Amino acid sequence: MTPRHVIVMVTTSYPRFPGDSVGTFVEPIAKGIAARGHTVHLVAPWHPLVRRPREEDGVSYHFYRYAPLPSLNVFGYAAAMRADVSLRGAAIAVAPLALAQGWRTARAIARRQGATMMHGHWVVPGGVTAALAAPRLPLVVSLHGSDVYVAETFPPARLAARMALRRAGAVTACSRDLADRAVALGADASRVMVVPYGVDVERFRPDPLSKTGERARLGVPADVPLIFAAGRLVRKKGFEYLIDAMRHLTGEHRAILALGGEGDLEAELRERAARLPASVSAVRFLGRLDQNAVGAYLASADVVVVPSVRDDAGNVDGLPNVVMETLATGTALVTTRAGGIGAVVKDGETAL
């Protein structure tokens, strides 16, 4: 019989409310582990948008406060990096407070609950925090993308990541690209495994009814192709290249691009879209979308585009959720091979 564990899961990002688009892949991991009979205590920074009960589906939540001022709640939840290229000054300033309080909370929960295992998401800082909070407990570190980039780019983060990776009994990566880079940072190759994200097939599935509903809300005629893309508006998502490509869809090939998400590049991308000639395809900015809305748009689109790139700073997605979600929905997918994408799609069969 498989032993039941008491797991303290340390993360800096998690859906703050049901349907939130931030940290979506961590929730099914936490709840999936709980569903297998293990006890899960999730430790994460507090955020003004957190709307979670103390316990839900077998996961107990422990959100810790660290910021002396509301404006300094910028640690985690995809807020610490500017366009996913550089760390924000405010995030650097508040990091010592957040890291110390995260360590203190994880250590206290591990001791109080009799933890048997620590699980850190993002090697920096989740893996490091988990390793230091309970040095004698087995450690699992899960890599998601930007954490490896930070470790490769900033020497202090590299040293901390190397410590956590070498201490870990298991390291999971959502793509082979991340796994190889983790080994280069010091992880034991025999302990690294690639585990792609799963998909909620109830939320992301073919839905003919969405075709008319979402198109009507956008005012897209039935005979005009609808292209959909979604993600944080940051460099590695490559949305500027997608917008520029729209100028080639003219005349009978005219289409509408619906772009969901928010981020540091929104003003720049809106300006880029505004410079498109009136005679070519249009771009509609949808803003932040919850997961139900993303599922509906994926099902209603004629084509989904995931134009991920390795940006000029060297950052790249591990494996964008929207790739797996589009495949589950059955909508035509156009994408790149950046990061882990090339390992899950096959040109001419499951994507172009």
3 state DSSP class of 64 = strand
On whether both 72 and 214 belong to a single domain, the answer is: no
In a domain, residue 219? The reply is yes
pLDDT tens for each residue of the chain, 352 residues long: 467 999 999 999 999 998 888 888 999 999 999 999 999 999 999 999 999 999 999 999 999 999 888 778 888 887 766 655 556 677 778 889 999 999 999 999 999 999 999 999 999 999 999 999 999 999 999 999 889 999 999 999 999 999 999 999 999 999 999 999 999 999 999 999 999 888 888 899 998 777 777 888 888 888 899 999 999 999 999 999 999 999 998 888 889 999 999 988 999 999 999 999 877 778 999 999 999 999 999 999 999 999 999 998 888 888 899 999 999 999 999 999 998 899 889 999 999 9
On whether both 172 and 218 belong to a single domain, the answer is: no
Place of tokens 């919850």: 290
On whether both 236 and 264 belong to a single domain, the answer is: yes
In a domain, residue 348? The reply is no
The tokens describing 5, both together, are: 């564990």
In a domain, residue 279? The reply is yes
Q: pTM score, two decimals?
A: 0.86
The domain boundary residue, chosen from 133, 165, 194: 194
Q: What is d(CA 52, CA 27) in angstroms, rounded to the nearest whole number? A: 12
What single string gives the DSSP state of each residue in 90-110?
HHHHHHHHHHHHHHHHHHHHH
**Close Cβ partners of 171 (under 8 Å, ≥ 6 residues apart):** 123, 140, 141, 142, 143, 165, 179, 182, 187, 188, 191, 192, 193
On whether both 50 and 178 belong to a single domain, the answer is: yes
Q: What is d(CA 30, CA 34) in angstroms, rounded to the nearest whole number? A: 6
CATH for 295:
3.40.50.2000
The domain boundary residue, chosen from 165, 194, 223: 194
The CB density around residue 58, as the number of other CB atoms within 10 Å, is 16
Q: What is d(CA 320, CA 316) in angstroms, rounded to the nearest whole number? A: 10
On whether both 138 and 241 belong to a single domain, the answer is: no
In a domain, residue 1? The reply is no
The tokens describing 32, both together, are: 């999936």
In a domain, residue 172? The reply is yes
CB 20 within 8 A of CB 50: no
On whether both 115 and 219 belong to a single domain, the answer is: no
On whether both 223 and 138 belong to a single domain, the answer is: no
On whether both 27 and 136 belong to a single domain, the answer is: yes
Domains held by the chain: number = 2
What's the gap between Cα 137 and its chain centre? 27
On whether both 334 and 234 belong to a single domain, the answer is: yes
What is the span of the domain harbouring residue 100?
Answer: 6-194
